[in-house]
Structure 1
Amino acid sequence: MVLALLVLVPEGMMLVTGVKSPAMAVLSESMEPAIKKGDMVFVHNMSNEPFREGEVVLFKVDGFEHPIVHRVIKVYEHRDTGEIRILTKGDNNSVDDRFLYASGQLWLQPHDIIGRVACYLPYAGWPSVFISEAYKVCKHALYSG
């Protein structure tokens, strides 16, 4: 029964939210003070809703192992083509995220966004943070020596 719950609960959450990984631990301080390192964010996918400045999204960037949780600071719709462009920034960062995007990429597009943060649970992600940081230490030790 426990095994069934471990399989069915994540699958059910995926069906409800429309996101492959609907819960994720925040691994950095980039969104403080709003969302802190170690908080657990819960993500949903409202793909038919327009993106809005101020909302917090989860997006994937080539070269980064984990998705990034940052705030939308600018939404631009090209007048002629209707193409949507999105610019993000961590609340605790002094500059926008263009330095994080793929080489030559100045904006995110809707397909780069995994989902929108619906809510968060303070401190619930700390076990994941500890595991992630321990993995980095072990990986560094294996490859440097």
Structure 2
Amino acid sequence: MLTKLSGSQLRQTLVQALSFSLVLTTAFMFWKGLSVITDSPSPIVVVLSGSMEPAFQRGDILFLWNRNPKVKVGDIVVYNVNGRDIPIVHRVVRNHVSPSKQLLLTKGDNNGLDDVELYSYKQYYLNREKEVIGAVKAYVPWAGYITILLSENVWAKYLLLATMGILAAFQRD
């Protein structure tokens, strides 16, 4: 393919490839920079369920902060549980603090029961240091619906890729 391209076409193709890689590396550096600033492996998350209604709706984007050593009862935290890939966003309803660690019990605002059933087997509290990704500090309503659309519908991913490909093809002419 590269042998059939003229010098200017080859140069244009290389410039486009470099521009694309610049966009990707910039996004990656931005994400990693936010991770360092917030001390969170995932500083931005999307609400995927209605368990925190009315505080947060499905599709809201949450901004996390993990620099505070302790969280209080009433704070909304995002945590991971062993064996589950998707982080959970719920409110702290009970707090046990010792000099060495903080244990938390969480519950979704729209749920009838606490989260003990969501935790790992025979686990009754979350370890703040090990399982909590961060506490919610800000949010943008509805802005995460595109992420939900792309993750729940394979056809949407292909439609987006096809549209980008068609736009790229028309841009070359």
Q: Is TM more than 0.5 here? A: yes
Highest relative contact order (Cα 8 Å, sep 6+), 1 or 2?
A: 1
Of 17, 26, 49, the residue aligned with 1:5 is 26
CA distance in 2, matches of 1:82, 1:18: 20
Q: Amino acid of the residue matched to residue 19 of structure 1?
A: S
Q: Amino acid of the residue matched to residue 28 of structure 1?
A: S
Larger mean CA deviation between 31-40 and 109-118 belongs to 109-118
Please, what TM-score do these two structures have when normalized by structure 1? 0.83
CA distance in 2, matches of 1:16, 1:82: 24
User: Structure 1 106/8 Cα, relative in aligned 2: closer, same or farther at 3 Å?
Assistant: same
Counterpart position of 1:96: 114
Q: How big is the shift at 1:6? A: 1.6
Question: Which 4+ stretches in 1 moved above 6 angstroms?
Answer: none
Counterpart position of 1:143: none
Please, what TM-score do these two structures have when normalized by structure 2? 0.71
Of 124, 134, 143, the residue aligned with 2:143 is 124
CA distance in 2, matches of 1:89, 1:63: 19
Q: How big is the shift at 1:47? A: 4.2
Of 83, 96, 105, the residue aligned with 1:87 is 105
> Are 1:34 and 2:55 matched, yes or no?
yes
Larger mean CA deviation between 2-11 and 38-47 belongs to 2-11
Structure 1: which 5+ runs fail to align? 136-145
Identical aligned pairs, as a percentage?
38
Counterpart position of 2:131: 112
Q: How big is the shift at 1:4? A: 4.0
Cα displacement string for residues 43-73 of structure 1 (whole angstroms, at most 9, x for unaligned residues)? 111242x220000001001232211010000
CA distance in 2, matches of 1:51, 1:11: 24
Number of residue pairs matched by the alignment: 132
* Bigger share in helix: 2
Q: Report the structure number with the largest CA radius of gyration.
A: 2
SS at match of 1:124: coil
Structure 2: which 5+ runs fail to align? 1-21, 155-173
Residues 46 and 116, structure 1, Cα contact 8 Å, conserved in 2: no
CA distance in 2, matches of 1:7, 1:102: 31
Counterpart position of 1:43: 64
Q: How big is the shift at 1:38? A: 0.4
Cα displacement string for residues 63-106 of structure 1 (whole angstroms, at most 9, x for unaligned residues)? 3221101000010135xx65421100000000000010001101
Cα displacement string for residues 99-141 of structure 1 (whole angstroms, at most 9, x for unaligned residues)? 1000110111111111111111101110111122226xxxxxx
RMSD after superposition? 1.6
